[in-house]
Structure 1
Amino acid sequence: MDHQGDVPPFSAVAEVDGDQLSVRVSGEVDMATADGLFAAATREQAAFLTLDLRQVSFFDSAAIHALVRIAERYPGRLSVLPSRQVRRVLEISGLGDQPWLSTP
């Protein structure tokens, strides 16, 4: 896909504060970058994870798979802040009512 620079590159930045891990993700999460999302969210040991996807512009089935795997690693301890695009993809895929998905 040639976006000619109009899409920000994928980025996943993790920060640990005590037992809380926060991962801010931006750009496209797809087959090429979903493993990077998973790695950033699981690299550090933490009791709780906040996954900030508010700056994500594209989210595909590989991204959904990574997110489900992350949710399995953090049962009852995950909070996802979705962008409009991420929320729509999750709703279409049947995951829009997950307890870890923050409401607007």
Structure 2
Amino acid sequence: MDQGGAPPVFSASAELDGDHLRVVVIGEVDMATADTMLQTTLREPAERVTLDLRGVTFFDSAAIHAVVRLADRLSGRLTVLPSRQVVRVLEISGLAEQGWLHRD
């Protein structure tokens, strides 16, 4: 989508609370930003990781790849909270029934 020269909105922030890491991602997760989401999530070691994607407005194949990598790396420790757009993409890709995906 052309935004009149404005860069796409994206942010990924992490907060560690004891053994729980919460990463909040906002905006468009695509080829340009998926690795930042991945690296932000892996930066701090934690027993439990919540990847909050409820503020994500666009999610492409690079984003899917990053989440699948996180799920593999954080097996049994990852919870993904998706936005409606993220759920739709994961449904299309056949990943909507994964144990790490928690819908509201």
- Fold conserved (TM > 0.5)? yes
- Report the Cα offset of residue 5 of structure 1: 7.2
| Structure 2 segments unaligned to the other structure (5+ residues) | none
- Alignment correspondent of 1:76: 76
- Alignment correspondent of 1:3: 3
| Structure 1 segments unaligned to the other structure (5+ residues) | none
TM-score, with structure 1 as normaliser: 0.94
Letter in 2 for 1:46: A
Distance in 2, Cα, partners of 1:44 & 1:26: 19
Of all paired residues, the percent bearing the same amino acid is: 64
Tell me, what secondary structure is at the counterpart of 1:67? helix
Residues 21, 61 of structure 1: alpha-carbon distance in 2 compared, 3 angstrom cutoff: same
Residues 68, 43 of structure 1: alpha-carbon distance in 2 compared, 3 angstrom cutoff: same
TM-score, with structure 2 as normaliser: 0.94
- Report the Cα offset of residue 60 of structure 1: 0.1
Distance in 1, Cα, partners of 2:7 & 2:66: 21
- Aligned: 1:65 with 2:65: yes
Residues 72, 13 of structure 1: alpha-carbon distance in 2 compared, 3 angstrom cutoff: same
Distance in 2, Cα, partners of 1:59 & 1:30: 6
- Alignment correspondent of 1:48: 48
Distance in 2, Cα, partners of 1:69 & 1:17: 23
Which of 4-13 and 87-96 deviates more?
Answer: 4-13
